[in-house]
Amino acid sequence: MVLDRKIAFVDLEKASVKVRPLSMELRGKYLGGRGMNMYLLSQYYTSDLEPLSPGNPLIFGAGLLTGTLGFGSRISISAKSPESGHLGDSNMGGEFGAELVRAGFSHLVITGKSPKPAYLFIHDGEVEIRDAGKLRGLDTVETQKGIRAELDDGKVQVACIGPAGENLVRFAAVRTGLKNAAGRTGMGAVMGSKNLKAVAVRGTLDIKVAEPVKYLNYYSRLLKKIMGTKWVSALGNQGTPLLFRLANASGFLSVRNNQLTSLGKEGRLLEAEALEPYSTGMVACFGCPAHCRHRFSIKDGQYKGTHGEGPEYASIGSLGSKLGNVDLENILYAVELCNRYGLDTISAGSYIAWAMELYQRGIIGREETGIPLEWGNGEAIIEILHMIAYRKGFGDILAEGFFAKETLGAASEEFLLQIKGLPIEMTDERLPKSFGLGLATSTRGACHMRSRPSMDVLGLPQEILKKFYGGPVSNQYTSYRGKGRMVWWHECLNALCDALGYCRFLSAFSSPHALQYRHFARLISLCTGLKMTAGELRTCAERIYTLERMLLVRDGMSRPDDTLPQRYFDEPVSEGPAKGSVVERKDFDRMLDENYRLHGWDEEGIPRKRTLSRLGIEI
């Protein structure tokens, strides 16, 4: 059955592998994926654990339902983050997670550092440590091809790093397929620090379902429900770039490092419709009915021959509007360059935007950068990406990410928009208040995927929102009322989705008609035989999020760290639809109080002893 999957402990320094079962007690408390990863990480995590040291564990975790017939088949990768210095965790789709499950494994815990470049080959219950000397220096696409050729098996799935990970760029990603990435928090750098080029998996084992006929029938009912929503229908036609128009028109887009919040009419150059001439079709992750990503090809011009998958809305915003760049072909090329080098597109764009504002303000100049880091300069964007990946010139400084401030000096810090060491993403949250709170409280630093309540911008009737969230919530996204509750609800739901390997785009992330706790409880029961109520799943979700909070507490974090960049509080938006918007500190504090209260944390954001006792967290 699904619950028979094993965990492998790999020590690269000793070249040892230990395979063990996962206890049902832990399954019942943390399920799988992100949940189990957090439990495993907590066994190693200390305030003085160095992220790039051999002792930092790199943990792969397939979701509880990953590999089965369902709605996404995702995997989490976790460690202490070299980008922020705190909790590191990232999530990716594609085929890798399902293949790991078919190979008989649910989780991998990788420690130590290999004395020479290595990769893991996992197949039907076996784990091999193999030589990766010939793969050194290859990009992420070439690496995957090279491993499949060596193993003489085109069905092998590979999660790997490119030059950025090898060179310990602090925001390097782990990549699989043409675009799937465990992007944020620098898991690729952790992989590089272990001299681990890739993890390759191939499985032919059966996945037994507890009640296959009932499961198939229930899945079919849910499939009809989900595919009937407007959100999923639009996602299948245009992918996540469909969100760009709303952000631009409403005034919560990051433009020039959040100095502006709208591109105005120029935004049409980057909207989903602008991608259509380059799109060659839509594709999906394993087992997912929503084909939400483009395949693209540039047939003419300067970037002729560039092809790949994507880009996502986040990448268009990060390497486009955030840099004052409206050249879509340049953005497509830059995104593909990040994919091949193994760079997180969000962090890469954010650090370049920071450098561009410093350049604009004269804090740094051509003497330091070597190239003209001017807004909208596409050639400079491409050049600095090369420099970052190979740590050349000024790129070596930006490759340090958040820690580059130590080199660039105190005058630079004000313009590095970050939370808990992770930079702000492709949006500006001065207008949608719940979005801002979600970034501030996120356990991995500035992150929309931890808790963003996208439904807030839909303007649903307040009666529906009250019933859905279990309390009063304003239906105006500019309002502060009830938004602490809204963010709390999504923090928990998203933790559960990641523990199950379920794509949050098909959850109540953006539609009240999509799946949530009661549906997941039934799916788990029919698939695994593990009987859990919706209430018990809520408790699991709370447990996961609170355990993550306790890891931050180990690092000395509390309420002062759950904040927003100074710009959000002190600089009203100067133009566009959001003109005059700012986050009021007193109202923000009230949202924070509400969020903490619902989590069972004290006024400083520290989980109360009775909360830890209720959740069974021993830490």
Q: What is the mean pLDDT of residues 10-27?
A: 96
pLDDT tens, 287-326? 888 888 889 999 999 999 999 999 999 999 999 999 999 9
* Banded pLDDT at 415 (limits 50, 70, 90): very high
| Rounded to 5°, angle at Cα 448 from 461 and 613 | 90
Question: Would you state the pLDDT for residue 205?
Answer: 95
pLDDT tens, 225-269? 888 888 888 888 888 999 999 999 999 999 999 999 999 999 999
Q: What is the mean pLDDT of residues 395-400?
A: 98
Q: Across the chain, what does the average pLDDT equal?
A: 96
pLDDT tens, 528-539? 999 999 999 999
Could you tell me the pTM of the whole model?
Answer: 0.97
Q: What gap in Å lies between CA 118 and CA 304, rounded to an integer? A: 35
* Banded pLDDT at 1 (limits 50, 70, 90): low
pLDDT tens, 356-391? 999 999 999 999 999 999 999 999 999 999 999 999
Question: Would you state the pLDDT for residue 392?
Answer: 98
pLDDT tens, 76-135? 999 999 999 999 999 999 999 999 999 999 999 999 999 999 999 999 999 999 999 999
Among 552, 543, 324, CA closest to 419: 552
* Banded pLDDT at 551 (limits 50, 70, 90): very high
* Banded pLDDT at 15 (limits 50, 70, 90): very high
Q: Which amino acid is at 259?
A: Q
Question: Would you state the pLDDT for residue 269?
Answer: 97
Question: Would you state the pLDDT for residue 287?
Answer: 85
Which element (helix H / strand E) includes 90?
strand 87-92
Beta-strand runs (E) in 321-376: none
Query: Would you say the C-alpha torsion 49, 186, 126, 101 has a positive or negative sign?
Result: positive
pLDDT tens, 467-511? 999 999 999 999 999 999 999 999 999 999 999 999 988 888 878
- With a CB cutoff of 8 Å and minimum separation 6, the contacts of 253 are 244, 247, 261, 262, 263, 267, 317, 321, 426, 427, 428
Question: Would you state the pLDDT for residue 225?
Answer: 87
Delimit the domains of the chain by residue range: 2-202, 253-423, 433-615
Among 3.40.50.620, 1.10.599.10, 1.10.10.1200, 3.40.1350.10, name the CATH number for the domain at 433-615. 1.10.599.10
Among 3.40.50.300, 3.60.9.10, 3.40.50.720, 3.40.50.12240, name the CATH number for the domain at 2-202. 3.60.9.10
Q: What gap in Å lies between CA 420 and CA 425, rounded to an integer? A: 13
- CATH 1.10.240.10 holds for 253-423: no
Q: What gap in Å lies between CA 140 and CA 599, rounded to an integer? A: 40
Domains 2-202 and 433-615 share a fold: no
